[in-house]
Amino acid sequence: MRLSQFHLHTSKETPADAEVISHKLMLKAGMIRKLAAGLYTWSPLGLRVLRKVERVVREEMDAAGAIELLMPAVQPRELWEETGRWEKFGGQLLKIQDRKEAWYCFGPTHEEVITDFARNELSSYKQLPVTWYQIQTKFRDEIRPRFGVMRAREFLMKDAYSFHLSDEDLDRQYRVMYDAYGRIFTRLGLGFRAVFADTGAIGGSASHEFHVLADSGEDAIAFCEGSNYAANVELAEALAPGERPAATEAMRTVDTPTQKTCEDVAALMGVDLARTVKSIALMGQHEPGAPQFVLALVRGDHAVNEIKLSKVPGLADYRLATETEIAGHLGSQPGFLGPVNPKRPIRVVADRSVAAMGDFVIGANVPGQHLAGVNWGRDLPEPDVVADIRNVVAGDASPDGGGTLGIARGIEVGHVFQLGRKYAEAMKCTVLDETGKAAVPAMGCYGIGVSRIVAAAIEQNHDDAGIRWPSAMAPWQAVVCVINPKNDPAVTEAAEALYRDLNAAGVETALDDRGLRPGAMFADIELIGIPHRVVVSGRGLEAGTFEYRRRDAAESENLDRTALFGRIDARLAG
């Protein structure tokens, strides 16, 4: 592609309304242009990148045995009523009335349509297993569309759906798709993690999310460097630490007149925050024989995990205790609470780490006072419940025993679910099994946010000058820049030859023949993130060299033709 014949339209201005770097850079590079809230036109440059992602996704889906089809964007209300999602899906469902006043929606996902397709197409177990996929435009009416194509309303998605006679076969294909997802993100050159996930609104059982790792990611992920373990921080299990140490101190009172947080108390006392314990006062359900008032304890340097807390028996619908309830049970006020000597019976739920502490610091139930040197069994009874009720933190042991956990931030770009029989049952989709009996197939569903990947890749790969595309996603692998094309025919000729030869060698190369000044030209090429830049100039030709620079290199080098080809593609070096 000659850039003079291509519509490249970069901008020096930093867009005012773009909050994240990928949105800023996509606008500056001219990859997208906003049409309305959450609606973007993909410019020729942007579309080149989008298509590269699409192609890798398609190739890996085909390789995984999935068969491509294409379902309509517009879906009739009747199908969504069969699964109850016409109401349940919520405001993200864009509802449409046609000229005959029949209701439709702009599909945000296609479980209903594919299950309808399946119940018409499938009649026998012999047709199973089957996995269908499409790469298709979806719409979700986000209440606050933002971050450009990261959270757009109209977006491009790959969604796949599999049908199986048995749960075991669903498990097998789930693993096949899981592996295919790994290959997709690896081929795209992205740092990613597959994490255990909550199944959310789609429903079902097993589920993994695929996250592109980036500091700006909305989700926190716990992962083990030494193994494949990864999970959303909220779902990752915090293991019990080692044995509880023996008491070495006597319990004593410490004056903490204004110190209401563990941080302040630890600072005042000059002790490690990990020696302190936080008390959270809750009201649980009425259960026979157990006080309704609960004190949940986590270490001062840990955070309570509400999902885990709600899984403790009696706490499914817990709420925070009121100040009156706290005063009634503990005779104290928030900031100085603790499980030692309550006024009335309470239930103590200790995190595993807290249960393993000795000589700890905790509120004294007296305003302005904490207790230090506290020990279980000696100064207060053993906890009523010991459970995992905190978020994991970096340095925790990995639940799979593979080492210690790190915490990273991620952008969700893929999701695989085992849906089970929820949709097939609701929509009466059956096949005849080997014995001639009608059987409801088990389903899997597998999504990838194709357009979102483009933004996520930029979040992970950029610098001050612009985007740094991984090779597989770059609009072109290389650009040949011509300096002063009009003044020196030899330069133009050499650049044309190089452009031709690189393309012939399989390196997708553009020719920057726009006649810009070098500074403006190089700024554009860096902004749009081309991995390899070659400059052809009169001076270089005299010396028999080209000026070569990798997008991620600090300096350029003068290379002869053979060295240049070798540098751009190691496969071409020999």
The answer to whether 152 touches 417, Cβ cutoff 8 Å, is no
Determine, following the binding rule CB under 8 A, whether residue 432 of this chain makes contact with its own copies. no
Q: Which CB sits closer to its own copies, 115 or 207?
A: 115
Residue 416 CB, shortest distance to its own copies, in Å, is 21
Distance CA 19, CA 17 (A): 6
Of the candidates 47, 432, 541, 563, which one interacts with its own copies according to CB under 8 A? 47
Return the range that interacts with its own copies (CB under 8 A); candidates 127-135, 250-258, 408-416, 519-527: 127-135
Residues 83-102 that bind its own copies (CB under 8 A): 91, 94, 96, 98-99
| Maximum Cα–Cα distance across the chain | 94
What φ, ψ does residue 505 adopt, rounded to 5°? -85, 5
Determine, following the binding rule CB under 8 A, whether residue 186 of this chain makes contact with its own copies. no
Distance CA 49, CA 454 (A): 7
Distance CA 366, CA 363 (A): 8
Neighbouring residues of 464: CB distance < 8 A, sequence distance ≥ 6: none
Determine, following the binding rule CB under 8 A, whether residue 493 of this chain makes contact with its own copies. no
Of the candidates 14, 17, 35, 228, which one interacts with its own copies according to CB under 8 A? 35
Q: Which CB sits closer to its own copies, 44 or 331?
A: 44
Strand-strand pairing, 230-232 and 252-255? unpaired
Where b means 16+ CB within 10 Å and e means fewer, 418-435 reads: bbbbbbbebbebbbeeee
Q: Which CB sits closer to its own copies, 62 or 272?
A: 62
Q: Which CB sits closer to its own copies, 173 or 292?
A: 173
The answer to whether 105 touches 92, Cβ cutoff 8 Å, is no
The answer to whether 279 touches 255, Cβ cutoff 8 Å, is no
Distance CA 318, CA 147 (A): 35
- How many CB atoms are closer than 10 A to CB 244? 15
Q: Which CB sits closer to its own copies, 72 or 377?
A: 72
Distance CA 160, CA 166 (A): 18
Determine, following the binding rule CB under 8 A, whether residue 67 of this chain makes contact with its own copies. yes
Return the range that interacts with its own copies (CB under 8 A); candidates 124-132, 187-195, 412-420, 526-534: 124-132
Distance CA 455, CA 358 (A): 48
Determine, following the binding rule CB under 8 A, whether residue 147 of this chain makes contact with its own copies. no
Of the candidates 69, 201, 267, 320, which one interacts with its own copies according to CB under 8 A? 69
Q: Which CB sits closer to its own copies, 98 or 249?
A: 98
Q: Which CB sits closer to its own copies, 137 or 369?
A: 137
The answer to whether 461 touches 526, Cβ cutoff 8 Å, is no
Determine, following the binding rule CB under 8 A, whether residue 17 of this chain makes contact with its own copies. no
Q: Tokens 């899981």 sit at which residue?
A: 178
Determine, following the binding rule CB under 8 A, whether residue 516 of this chain makes contact with its own copies. no
Determine, following the binding rule CB under 8 A, whether residue 54 of this chain makes contact with its own copies. no
Determine, following the binding rule CB under 8 A, whether residue 356 of this chain makes contact with its own copies. no
Q: Which CB sits closer to its own copies, 47 or 202?
A: 47
Residue 529 CB, shortest distance to its own copies, in Å, is 19
Q: Is 196 helix (H, G, I), strand (E, B) or coil?
A: strand
Of the candidates 19, 55, 63, 74, which one interacts with its own copies according to CB under 8 A? 74
The answer to whether 283 touches 292, Cβ cutoff 8 Å, is yes
Determine, following the binding rule CB under 8 A, whether residue 63 of this chain makes contact with its own copies. no
**Both tokens of residue 451?**
């357009």
Determine, following the binding rule CB under 8 A, whether residue 166 of this chain makes contact with its own copies. no
Return the range that interacts with its own copies (CB under 8 A); candidates 115-123, 254-262, 430-438, 516-524: 115-123
Q: Which CB sits closer to its own copies, 42 or 210?
A: 42
Q: Which CB sits closer to its own copies, 105 or 262?
A: 105
Q: Which CB sits closer to its own copies, 130 or 304?
A: 130
**Both tokens of residue 363?**
């509120």
Of the candidates 29, 57, 75, 177, which one interacts with its own copies according to CB under 8 A? 75
Q: Which CB sits closer to its own copies, 92 or 556?
A: 92
Q: Which CB sits closer to its own copies, 336 or 446?
A: 446
Instruction: Single out the residue of 402, 408, 405 nearest to residue 226, CA to CA.
Output: 402
Residue 164 CB, shortest distance to its own copies, in Å, is 14
Of the candidates 19, 33, 341, 539, which one interacts with its own copies according to CB under 8 A? 33
- How many CB atoms are closer than 10 A to CB 377? 10
Instruction: Single out the residue of 206, 204, 122, 199 nearest to residue 171, CA to CA.
Output: 206
Determine, following the binding rule CB under 8 A, whether residue 250 of this chain makes contact with its own copies. no
Distance CA 196, CA 231 (A): 5
Q: Is 567 helix (H, G, I), strand (E, B) or coil?
A: helix
Distance CA 448, CA 181 (A): 9
**Both tokens of residue 498?**
């190089």
Query: Which H/E stretch holds residue 171?
Result: helix 167-187
| # residues contacting its own copies (CB under 8 A) | 49
Residue 106 CB, shortest distance to its own copies, in Å, is 7
Determine, following the binding rule CB under 8 A, whether residue 80 of this chain makes contact with its own copies. no
Q: Which CB sits closer to its own copies, 104 or 360?
A: 104
Of the candidates 63, 72, 303, 306, which one interacts with its own copies according to CB under 8 A? 72
What φ, ψ does residue 276 adopt, rounded to 5°? -100, 160
Residue 3 CB, shortest distance to its own copies, in Å, is 11
Determine, following the binding rule CB under 8 A, whether residue 120 of this chain makes contact with its own copies. yes
For residue 493, how many C-alpha atoms fall within 13 Å in the half-sphere facing its CB?
4
Distance CA 574, CA 571 (A): 7
Of the candidates 14, 19, 41, 573, which one interacts with its own copies according to CB under 8 A? 41
Of the candidates 10, 15, 59, 65, which one interacts with its own copies according to CB under 8 A? 65
Of the candidates 36, 246, 554, 570, which one interacts with its own copies according to CB under 8 A? 36
Per-residue CA distances from 130 to 127, 180, 181, 203, 436 (Å): 7, 16, 18, 21, 19
Give me the residues that bind its own copies (CB under 8 A), please: 5-7, 9, 30, 33, 35-36, 39-44, 46-47, 50, 65, 67-76, 91, 94, 96, 98-99, 104, 106, 113, 116-117, 120-121, 127, 130, 132, 137, 139, 141, 143, 153-154
